């Protein structure tokens, strides 16, 4: 009985082993399944509202169950956008030197993918798909609704600065968190996940 099972057992072990080594190698090189099933990007709308400045207070992304507060952040001493304290687990940071969500230009909101021991506010950001809605409530009691265009991953050393920070052709939104390989030290994760989104509508809260 046992002898007869030996052949199939060997084959199964070999296959499982190969599969596992493959995924392991992929992980080591920053491969992600979420990226594989994301689908093509969605073009921004031709018409959109434009709002004046007003601080964002809350962010909601129903498809990945994000519901968080937002506070202002500036630049840190390295010249990168500062991030919320690791202790404020459910908070995102809005770069308050840049445009507000709803103004022309990219509103930039950063959030942690994880803290030292728990998942962070944006830990499912790389599962976002083009077309998903992001709602941001502003202090003027208006809700701006953005639609995801693309979700992309870049090395922290070679971010496409113009695409992320200098596109003033429409009211846009950039959600930024960490991803890729963990290298530790100053850098933490090697990459940034960036969600590019565009304003599609605005309404009273």
Q: Which of residues 135-194 bind another protein (CB under 8 A)?
A: 154, 156-157, 159, 161, 165-166, 168-169, 176-178, 181-182, 184, 186-189, 191-192
Residue appearing with tokens 């077309």:
131
Q: Measure the CA angle with vertex 136, ends 61 and 38; round to 5°.
A: 35
CB of 205 to another protein, least distance (A): 22
| Cβ neighbours around 164 below 10 Å, total | 18
Assess 204 for contact with another protein (CB under 8 A).
Answer: no
Alpha-carbon distance 203 to 205, whole Å?
6
Assess 41 for contact with another protein (CB under 8 A).
Answer: no
CB of 133 to another protein, least distance (A): 22
Residue 189 neighbours by CB under 8 Å, 6+ apart: 113, 156, 178, 179, 180, 181, 182, 183
Assess 17 for contact with another protein (CB under 8 A).
Answer: yes
Q: Which of residues 65-124 bind another protein (CB under 8 A)?
A: 75, 78-83, 86, 95, 97-99, 103-105, 110-120, 122-123
Assess 198 for contact with another protein (CB under 8 A).
Answer: no
Smaller CB distance to another protein: residue 7 or 40? 7
Among 6, 40, 77, 204, binds another protein (CB under 8 A): 6
Token pair, residue 192, equals 């940034």
φ, ψ dihedrals at 42, nearest 5°: -115, 130
């Amino acid at each position: 009985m046992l002898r007869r099972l030996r052949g199939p057992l060997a084959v199964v072990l070999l296959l499982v082993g190969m599969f596992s080594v493959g995924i392991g190698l992929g992980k080591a090189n920053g491969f992600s399944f979420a990226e594989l099933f994301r689908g093509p990007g969605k073009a921004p709308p031709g018409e959109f509202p434009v709002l004046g400045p007003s601080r964002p207070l809350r962010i909601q992304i129903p498809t990945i169950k994000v519901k968080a507060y937002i506070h202002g952040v500036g630049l840190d001493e390295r010249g990168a956008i500062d991030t919320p304290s690791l202790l404020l687990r459910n908070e995102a940071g809005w770069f308050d030197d840049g445009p507000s969500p709803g103004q022309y230009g990219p509103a930039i909101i950063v959030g942690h993918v994880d803290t030292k021991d728990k998942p962070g506010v944006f830990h499912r950001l790389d599962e976002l798909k083009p077309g998903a809605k992001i709602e941001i409530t502003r202090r003027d009691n208006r809700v701006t609704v953005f639609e995801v265009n693309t979700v992309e991953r870049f090395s922290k050393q070679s971010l496409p600065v113009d695409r992320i920070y200098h596109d003033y052709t429409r009211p846009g939104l950039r959600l930024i968190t960490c991803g890729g390989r963990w290298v530790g030290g100053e850098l933490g994760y090697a990459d940034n996940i960036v969600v590019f989104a565009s304003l599609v509508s605005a309404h009273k809260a």
